Amino acid sequence: MKLYSAPYAPNPRRVTMFLAEKGVSDIEIINVNLQSGEHRGPDFREMSPLAQVPTLALDDGRTLTESRAICTYLESVYPEPNLMGRDGYERGFIEMWDRRAELMFTLPLMMWVRHLSPVLAAVEKNQNAEIGAYNQATAMKLAKFFDQRLAESEFLAGDRLTIADITALAGMDFAKMMKWRPGDDLPNLRRWRLALAERPCGKTAP
């Protein structure tokens, strides 16, 4: 299998962090140059019609896009350590927290960075300061919610790391571009982030 990725983008990194936690090393990772528009070329669009990374190319020629869908497939191929739940309830519980992490936290963090980072101004041609500020505020509200959750649980979805933690971490690390890290006002989120930094998922780029 081959994974077409982009090392600093949150969605591709979600998959590479997932692989790191599983200890998978037999998938070739090919980095796509987003700045040059490589993902919009005809060759890449044959695999990914919407020009998306990550894209997973299977050995039989089939492909998958969407980071969560790719992780679901990889969970079936590499079932241990389990990151998505062992029974119906646990799978649902983990997905609940993963959706919260993705839609309510990581996505606003990404939009904040995309619309307010000077570094991305050359790539994001339609930056809008109001959109950036709105998403920043949304993300900070969820940071407080997650901090409260992590006061009662070691990880977002229970007593072990799951894809929900990986999803939230991908967004938080992207927000480094805005020089944001949870501080003393978010002690539990800060504790969680420092703990994840020592794990395989936290040691992948960036």
- For the cut 80, the answer to whether the pLDDT of residue 157 exceeds it is yes
Q: Which residues lie across from 29 on neighbouring strands?
A: 3
Per residue in 159-201, pLDDT (tens digit) is 999 999 999 999 999 999 999 999 999 999 999 999 999 999 9
As a whole number, mean pLDDT of residues 80-109 equals 98
Would strands 2-5 and 28-31 be described as parallel, antiparallel, or unpaired? parallel
pLDDT range class, residue 206, cuts 50, 70, 90: low
Q: Which residue segments constitute the domains of the chain, with CATH numbers given?
A: 2-77 (3.40.30.10), 88-203 (1.20.1050.10)
Count Cβ atoms below 10 Å from residue 129 Cβ, excluding itself.
Answer: 9
Structure token pair of residue 40: 């919009």
As a whole number, mean pLDDT of residues 75-94 equals 98
Per residue in 20-74, pLDDT (tens digit) is 999 999 999 999 988 777 888 888 999 899 989 999 999 999 999 999 999 999 9
DSSP 24: -
